[in-house]
Amino acid sequence: MMLVEQTTVATEALPVTEFKDHLRLGSGFSDDGVQDTVLEGYVRSALAAIEARTGKVLYSRVFVWTLDRWRELARQALPVAPVTAVSGVRLFDRDGAETVIAADKYRLQMDSQRPRLVSTVLHLPLIPTHGTAEVTFTAGFGTSWDDIPADLCQAVLLLAAHYYENRSAVLAGEAPVPFGVSLLIDRYRTVRLFGEGGAR
């Protein structure tokens, strides 16, 4: 199984100004923007870490998910949330021949924790032996910083500040997630029951 991001978050959508305010960096100087690229890197790292720990996509982006079997014949939990649209399902056989599945054969079952691809007929299209299915979908809370829940925004700023203030540890890969960040994101974590996994 493989999840590939097809679109990225535009630099202008990132909360670099909010991050500067959070760090209480001085302003009004001729070199105000000199650190912007560095600060953007910490914000992007914090966004990625929060998304990885919660399974929630903060900014809306398009993803392609490739898998070799459905966990259930009639429905399949998607690997991240919230999903706002499924734009395509394709099957590939072992030789790479492609079959596009008609959009009326499936639908998106929205859910804040575990959205699903659901068959509108008897079952989802059968994946060929040694083949794969490819699901293209859009996930995320929205396209702007204001669309993201306030507690997740706070978690991103806190974690980005932690990375900024502990730069040596971050470079060495030894910076843990602060307890305050864990508290903010804990309720967004997907709880897996009875062996069901969103990425299966």
d(CA 79, CA 19): 29
Q: Quick one: average pLDDT of 24-41?
A: 69
pLDDT tens across 49-66, in order?
999 999 999 999 999 999
The pTM of this model reads 0.86
d(CA 19, CA 46): 11
Q: Is the pLDDT of residue 194 over 60?
A: no
Categorize the per-residue pLDDT at 172 as very low, low, confident or very high, splitting at 50, 70 and 90: very low
Categorize the per-residue pLDDT at 30 as very low, low, confident or very high, splitting at 50, 70 and 90: very low
Q: Quick one: average pLDDT of 153-157?
A: 97
And the tokens for 59?
Answer: 């900014």
First and final CA of the chain: distance in angstroms?
8
Residues in contact with 51: Cβ distance below 8 Å, sequence separation at least 6, in sequence order: 57, 58, 80
Q: Quick one: average pLDDT of 133-151?
A: 98
